[in-house]
Structure 1
Amino acid sequence: MTDTTDRPTGHACVQSYLKTLDNSPGVYRMLDAKGAVLYVGKARNLKKRVSNYANPNGHSARIDRMIRSTASMMFLTTRTETEALLLEQNLIKQLKPKFNVLLRDDKSFPNILVTGNHAYPQIKKHRGAKKEKGSYYGPFASAGAVNRTLTQLQRVFLLRNCTDSVFDSRTRPCLQYQIKRCSAPCVGYISHEDYGTLVKDAERFLQGKSTKVQTELAREMEIASEAMEFERAGALRDRIRALTQVQAGQGINPQGVAEADVIALHMEGGQACVQVFFIRANQNWGNYDYYPRTGSGAGPAEVMEAFIGQFYINREPPPLLLLSDGIEEAELMAGALSDKIGRKVEISVPQRGEKAELVQGALRNARESLARTMAETATQARLLQGLAEAFDLPAPPKRIEVYDNSHIQGANAVGGMIVAGPEGFLKSQYRKFNIKDTSLTPGDDFGMMREVMTRRFSRLLKEDPDRTSGTWPDLLLIDGGQGQVSAVRRIMEEMGVGDIPMVGVAKGEDRDAGKEEFHRTGKPPMALRHNDPVLYFIQRMRDEVHRFAIGAHRAKRSKAVGATPLDDLPGVGAMRKRALLTHFGSAKAVARADLKDLKAVDGISDNLAETIYAFFHEKG
C-alpha cells in the first residue's frame, strides 16, 4: 500500500509530482488514499500530461472526480509512445481501475483447422494456441458458427472429421459416409489424389474463392453428364446446391472487403455495446457483442480506443479495422498493432460505399443489442428489489451466491457455487469445490457444506478482509431447510461473517416446484405466492446451481472412471502413458512388466524405466 500520510490530495497531490518528471513517454497510475488504482493512462510526454491534471480547470466531471480522489501517483517511463500504449492496455486489464474503460469479456474465438500431419487431412474446430501443424481459418464468432460451417463444408467437400486414431482403426465406413458427409478415405473409397483435390477445394472456399470452386464443379458436372456418368453428375449437383446454401446462409458477403473486423459502438444511458463482425475471405464469419464498462462517463472516442487496445492484446488483428467512431490517436494505435504482428494494419471510419454499409449494419446490431440488454437489466433490477422486499434486506443485493452439493452416496462429492447480480448470472465467478475431507460420513450434506463455506470465506477473509473488492456476497441462498440453515449459520458465526443474510430454499409439500419454503435464522418458514416473479427468479438460480454442481460431479466421476495407476507415475505424461498402454495393452500389464521390457518401450529412457519399475514394485 502506498504511504499517503503526509501527502496532499487532489490537484495539489498531482502538482507535487511535476518537479520529479521529465518529457519522456510512459505510463502513469493515479491511486486513492488506500492505494487502490483509480486510473491508468499513457502519455507521449509525462510532464506535460501530469501538468494538465494539476490545472484545476477545464476537466470533465468524470476526470474532476478522479483527480479529487487522487492521493498518490506512480510512473513508468518507456522508450516510445507505442510501448506506453501497449503497457497501458495490459495494466488496465490487470488492475481494472475504476475510471478506465474496461473490456470485461475476454473470450477466445474458435478457428477451423485443416490438419497438415496426415496423408488424409482432417477438418475440425480449433480453439487456443496454433501449435498443431496445418492451415487455420478464422476467427469465427462462436462455436455454433464454426459447427454450422463445418457441417456445410462436409456436405460440400466430404472431408473426414474423425480423429487419426479412429481413422486408423476403421474397417468399414461410419455413419458420416452413409449420410453423405464424408468420402470414406479410411477404407479406401476415394483415392489419395481425389481426396487431396477435395481438400484443396475446401481451402480455396475458406480463402474466399468459392465462385471458382462452384464454376469448376459445374464444369465437372457437365462433363460427367455428357459422358452419361449420371451418378457422378448427381453427386456434383448435390455439392453445388450445398455450396449455394453455404453462401446464402452467410448473409453478408462483401465483394470489396476481403479481410476486416467491423467494430461499431452504441452508447445510451451510461452503457455501451460494441458489436464486432468478422469478415474473412469476403465472407461473414459471425459477430459478437461486448458491453465494456465505460469508466464512469467516458465518451465514444475513449471507449472505442480502449476497446481496440484491450481486444487485440491477445488476438491477431486483420489488415483492416472499420470503425463507427474515430479514435484520437488512430495512427499510434495502427502502428502499435502493425508492430505487434509484423504487417500493416489500417484503421478507418468509412463514410460511404460498401464499407460504410458494413459499419451501419454492425451499428444497427449494437443499438438493438444494447436495447435488449437495458430491458433485461431493468427487469433484473426489479427482481432484485423484490428479493430485498421479500426477505427484509436493507438494499437490493448486488451479489448473490447460491450453493449446492452433488454426489452419489458420498462418492465424487462436489460443492457448487454460482453468482447472480444486476447483470444476471456471472459465469466467470462460478466456483466448484472438490470435497477433500475423507473423514466425512458418505452423504453427509451438512459436513460437505461446512467444508465449502469454510474454504470460501477463509479465502475471502484472507484476500479482502475490508470487503472492498465487490467479491463479498450480499445474500447467500443454500439448497436446504431449517437444519441446513442452522448448520451454515453456526459456521458463518464461527468465522466472524454471521452478518451476511442467508436464506435456505427447500421444496415444500410433495416437493413440487412452486411450493418452495424459505428458511431464515430465528424466523418461521415462509412462502411466496405461486405466480410471484421473485419466486421464478429464485427457482432459476436454484436450478442453475443444481445444473452446475451436477456437471462438476459428472466430470469428476468420468475422470475417476478413466483413471489408471499410470496417472500417478512421476515423469509420465499423456504421450508416455499412451506409449506404455499401446505397448503392454493395459495398466495392470505395465505394473507387472519386467525392467527389460519397460526399457524397450519407445520414448521411455532407461532412467524412467527404472523409476516406473521401482514405483510399482516398491508399492507392492
Structure 2
Amino acid sequence: MDATDGGESRPTGHACIQSYLKTLPVSPGVYRMLDDKGAVLYVGKARNLKARVSNYARPSGHSPRIARMIADTASMMFLTTRTETEALLLEQNLIKQLKPRYNVLLRDDKSFPNILVSKDHAYPQIKKHRGAKREKGAYYGPFASAGAVNRTLNQLQKVFLLRNCTDAMFESRTRPCLLYQIKRCSAPCVGYISETDYAGLVGDAERFLQGKSTNVQGKLAGEMQQASEAMEFERAAALRDRIRALTQVQSAQGINPQGVAEADVIALHMDGGQACVQVFFIRANQNWGNRDFYPRTGSGADAAEVMQAFLGQFYDQKDPPRLLLLSDDIEDRDLMEQILSDKGGRKVEIAVPQRGEKLELVAGATRNARESLARRMAEGATQTKLLTGLAEAFGLDAPPLRIEVYDNSHIMGTNAVGGMIVAGPEGFEKSHYRKFNIKGDDLTPGDDFGMMKEVLTRRFQRLLKEDPDRKTPAWPDLLLIDGGAGQVSAVAGIMAELGIDDVPFIGVSKGVDRDAGKEEFHRPGQRPFALRHNDPVLYFVQRLRDEAHRFAIGAHRAKRSKAVGATPLDDVPGVGATRKRALLAHFGSAKAVARANLADLKAVDGVSGALAQTIYDFFHDKG
C-alpha cells in the first residue's frame, strides 16, 4: 500500500480537497479527512480514489452532513490498496481504531455466549461459554444474551439431565448433589447412569440444539409409552416431565421459522438522527434471542451507510451465519458477501427479502427496532432533564456529560478496592467503569481518606499524562464522592496538589439518622445542603451512589474470593493452574508442597525434573 499526505499548509473546504485531485490515482483505496488540528473527521473507501474525492470537491449538491464535513476539512490522507475488498476491510479497521466524528460507529462490541457440550470427558458437561473457542467440544450459538443461554440451559437440564458441574467437582463427589434430587441431573458422578445411557442423553441434547427437536420428542414419547405399558409408572412420569420441559423450551423461543434454518435477521430504524439496529439470531430453525444496538450515526448518515458500517464492525470479531436478512440494502453487497464468506470459510448470502416468511422475520425485527428506539429516546429525554436539574441543584455551568462516582469497599482494611462508575446523557456507561486495587503499604487499615487519595491521584495523574489538553471526553464534568465534609476537604487537597481547579466535586453523606432520603450534599467552603425528599434529582443521585456502592462491593468480593484461593504456589515460575491443581491433589496442601523433597516433586504427573528443581529451589533457597 502507498500513503500520501499533504505536508504543506493548505486552504480548507472545497479548495483543500480540490488541491489533491491532480496527484490522486484511479486505484482502490481509503481516504481520511482531517480538521485543522489533525483530528480525523471521516474515513471512507473508494473503488476509484480520484473519482470519489472529486465528488467532495464540488461546491454544491451535498447533504447537510457532508457539507459540514467538507467545510471542516483542512487536509487529507490516502492509502491505496490492491482491491476494493481490501479497501473495505481497511476502512472498517480504521473506523474502529480512530472513531471519526462523521463515521457510523458501533459502540457495543461485546462477544455473544454459546452453549458448549464438552467432548474431553467420558461424561460430557453442558455449560455456557463466552470467548475464544479453544476448549474441545461442540459449540451451539450465538445466543443474544447470557439470560437467553441460562434459560435454555435451565430447560435443557430438565429435559436431558446433563451435568453442569466442573470436572474437579465431578471427580470429588461421593453422593449426588441437589440437582439430582430436583431431577435436573442424572448423577453420572456417582454411577447412577451408565456411560452408554449418558451418551444417549448427550446425543438427544445435541439433536435438539441442531433443530431436530421433533425427533427427540417422538423418541421420548415412545419411551414413555413403553414404560407405561410395562407399568414402570415412575419412569413414565419422569419422561412425561421431560417432554413438558422440552415443549416449554420451544414455546419460550417464540419465533421458530420453518424455512430459515440459519440466519441473522438485522433490522434498522432511524429517527431524529438516532438509530437502532435489532439483530435476531436464528439457528437450527430456532430463535436464540435478539439484541438491540444503537450505533452512532456519524452526524446524519443514511440507512444504507449505517447498515453497511454496522455489518462490517459487528462481524469483525464474530463468525457470520450462512444468511443475513436485512431491512435495508447496502451499497457494496457483493464486497460484503465476499469478506464475510472469506471470514467464515463458507458462502455467506446477504438478502433484503420482499415476500414470504423471510419478510415476516425482517418486519418483526423492524418493529422491535422501532419500539426499542422510541423507549430509548424517551429515556434519553428523562435523563437530559435529570442532568439539567442536577446542574441547577449543584450550581454547575452546564448539564454534565460525564459524571464520575467513587466509592471504596473493604473489610477492616483488607482486600481494599476503589470503584469508579460513570454516567452521562445515555445513562450508566458500564464500559467506562474502573476498579482500583488499593496498593498503599503505608495506609492504616480502614483509612478511607487515604484510600480515596490513592484512587483519585492514580485516576487524575493518568488523565493528565494521557490527555493534558483535554481533547477527549474522558475528563469528568462532575465528581460525586461518598462522604461528608471531611472527604470533601481531603479531595480538595488532592486536586490542589495535582493542579486541577476546574473539575467540580460534591460529597454525598447519609445525613440525619443515615436514612436514604435525608442525604446532605457538601461543597468545598460552603454549608451543607439537602434537596426536598421527593425531588427527582435526589432519587437520581441515590441511584448513582447505589450503583457505585454495588460496583465497589462486587470488585471487593471478587478480590477477596481470589485471595481465599491463593497459595504460595501462585508465585512459583512455571506453575500455572493445571500444575497447581496436580501438586495440591498429590500433596494435599501448599505447605506440604513446600516441605516436599526433590524426588517427591518429580513423582507428580506433569511436573518435569527441571520444574521440580524450580519448585524445590523456590521454597528452600530463601536465604
- What TM-score, normalized to structure 1? 0.98
State the Cα distance separating 1:400 from its structure 2 match: 0.5
Check conservation: 1:594, 1:613, Cα contact below 8 A.
yes
Q: Confirm whether residue 488 of structure 1 aligns to residue 491 of structure 2.
A: yes
Q: Name the amino acid aligned to 1:68.
A: A
Check conservation: 1:111, 1:137, Cα contact below 8 A.
yes
Structure 1 residues 321-400: aligned runs within 5 Å: 321-400=324-403
2: CA distance, partners of 1:363 / 1:314: 24
Q: Name the amino acid aligned to 1:590.
A: V
2: CA distance, partners of 1:15 / 1:605: 68
State the Cα distance separating 1:483 from its structure 2 match: 1.6
Q: Name the amino acid aligned to 2:46.
A: A
SS at 1:458 equivalent:
helix
Equivalent residue number for residue 18 of structure 1 = 21
2: CA distance, partners of 1:457 / 1:363: 44
Structure 1 residues 503-582: aligned runs within 5 Å: 503-582=506-585
Check conservation: 1:115, 1:134, Cα contact below 8 A.
yes
Name whichever of 539-548 and 156-165 sits farther off. Answer: 156-165
Check conservation: 2:6, 2:77, Cα contact below 8 A.
no
Match 2:319 to one of 310, 316, 319? 316
Q: Confirm whether residue 479 of structure 1 aligns to residue 475 of structure 2.
A: no
Q: Confirm whether residue 611 of structure 1 aligns to residue 579 of structure 2.
A: no
Q: Confirm whether residue 271 of structure 1 aligns to residue 271 of structure 2.
A: no
2: CA distance, partners of 1:96 / 1:570: 40
Equivalent residue number for residue 46 of structure 1 = 49
Structure 1 residues 101-500: aligned runs within 5 Å: 101-500=104-503
Name whichever of 43-52 and 529-538 sits farther off. Answer: 43-52
Cα distance change of structure 1 residues 171 and 408 upon mapping to structure 2, 3 Å threshold: closer
SS at 1:580 equivalent:
helix
1: CA distance, partners of 2:74 / 2:369: 38
Q: Name the amino acid aligned to 1:66.
A: M
Name whichever of 401-410 and 199-208 sits farther off. Answer: 401-410
Check conservation: 2:142, 2:281, Cα contact below 8 A.
yes
Check conservation: 1:4, 1:33, Cα contact below 8 A.
no
SS at 1:246 equivalent:
helix
State the Cα distance separating 1:5 from its structure 2 match: 6.3
Q: Name the amino acid aligned to 1:96.
A: K
State the Cα distance separating 1:607 from its structure 2 match: 2.2
SS at 1:321 equivalent:
strand
Equivalent residue number for residue 502 of structure 1 = 505
2: CA distance, partners of 1:89 / 1:189: 54
SS at 1:523 equivalent:
coil
Q: Deviations over 1:470-500 (max 9, x none)?
A: 0100111101111211111121122121111
State the Cα distance separating 1:21 from its structure 2 match: 2.1
Q: Name the amino acid aligned to 1:269.
A: G
Name whichever of 565-574 and 371-380 sits farther off. Answer: 565-574
1: CA distance, partners of 2:516 / 2:229: 67
**Unmatched segments (≥5 aa) in structure 1:** none
Q: Confirm whether residue 593 of structure 1 aligns to residue 596 of structure 2.
A: yes
Q: Name the amino acid aligned to 1:421.
A: G
2: CA distance, partners of 1:277 / 1:195: 33
1: CA distance, partners of 2:304 / 2:185: 49
Name whichever of 226-235 and 238-247 sits farther off. Answer: 226-235
Name whichever of 551-560 and 599-608 sits farther off. Answer: 599-608
SS at 2:527 equivalent:
strand
State the Cα distance separating 1:69 from its structure 2 match: 1.1
Q: Name the amino acid aligned to 1:385.
A: T
**Percent identity for Structure 1 against Structure 2:** 81
- What TM-score, normalized to structure 2? 0.97
Q: Deviations over 1:285-307 (max 9, x none)?
A: 00000011000000111111111
Check conservation: 1:253, 1:282, Cα contact below 8 A.
yes
Check conservation: 1:14, 1:53, Cα contact below 8 A.
yes
State the Cα distance separating 1:3 from its structure 2 match: 8.4
2: CA distance, partners of 1:480 / 1:285: 45
Q: Deviations over 1:287-328 (max 9, x none)?
A: 000011000000111111111110000000101111111111
2: CA distance, partners of 1:415 / 1:320: 46
Name whichever of 135-144 and 48-57 sits farther off. Answer: 48-57
State the Cα distance separating 1:70 from its structure 2 match: 1.4
SS at 2:528 equivalent:
strand
> How many positions carry a matched residue from both structures?
619
Equivalent residue number for residue 91 of structure 1 = 94
2: CA distance, partners of 1:361 / 1:17: 47
State the Cα distance separating 1:4 from its structure 2 match: 6.2
Q: Name the amino acid aligned to 1:353.
A: G
Q: Name the amino acid aligned to 1:374.
A: M
Name whichever of 160-169 and 122-131 sits farther off. Answer: 160-169
List structure 1 runs of 4+ shifted beyond 4 angstroms. Answer: 2-5
1: CA distance, partners of 2:14 / 2:278: 38
2: CA distance, partners of 1:173 / 1:410: 40
2: CA distance, partners of 1:337 / 1:330: 11
Cα distance change of structure 1 residues 604 and 524 upon mapping to structure 2, 3 Å threshold: same
Check conservation: 1:4, 1:71, Cα contact below 8 A.
no
2: CA distance, partners of 1:600 / 1:225: 55
Name whichever of 550-559 and 511-520 sits farther off. Answer: 550-559
Q: Deviations over 1:310-360 (max 9, x none)?
A: 000000010111111111111111111111112111111111111111111
State the Cα distance separating 1:527 from its structure 2 match: 0.7
Check conservation: 1:262, 1:359, Cα contact below 8 A.
yes
Q: Deviations over 1:505-553 (max 9, x none)?
A: 1111111111111111122111100100000000111111111111111
Q: Name the amino acid aligned to 1:225.
A: S
State the Cα distance separating 1:16 from its structure 2 match: 2.2
Check conservation: 2:6, 2:76, Cα contact below 8 A.
no
**Unmatched segments (≥5 aa) in structure 2:** none
Name whichever of 571-580 and 506-515 sits farther off. Answer: 571-580
Q: Name the amino acid aligned to 1:488.
A: V
Q: Name the amino acid aligned to 1:437.
A: G
State the Cα distance separating 1:205 from its structure 2 match: 0.6
Check conservation: 2:405, 2:481, Cα contact below 8 A.
yes
Cα distance change of structure 1 residues 351 and 3 upon mapping to structure 2, 3 Å threshold: closer
2: CA distance, partners of 1:531 / 1:600: 70
Q: Name the amino acid aligned to 1:69.
A: D
SS at 1:531 equivalent:
coil
2: CA distance, partners of 1:107 / 1:613: 43
Q: Name the amino acid aligned to 1:595.
A: L
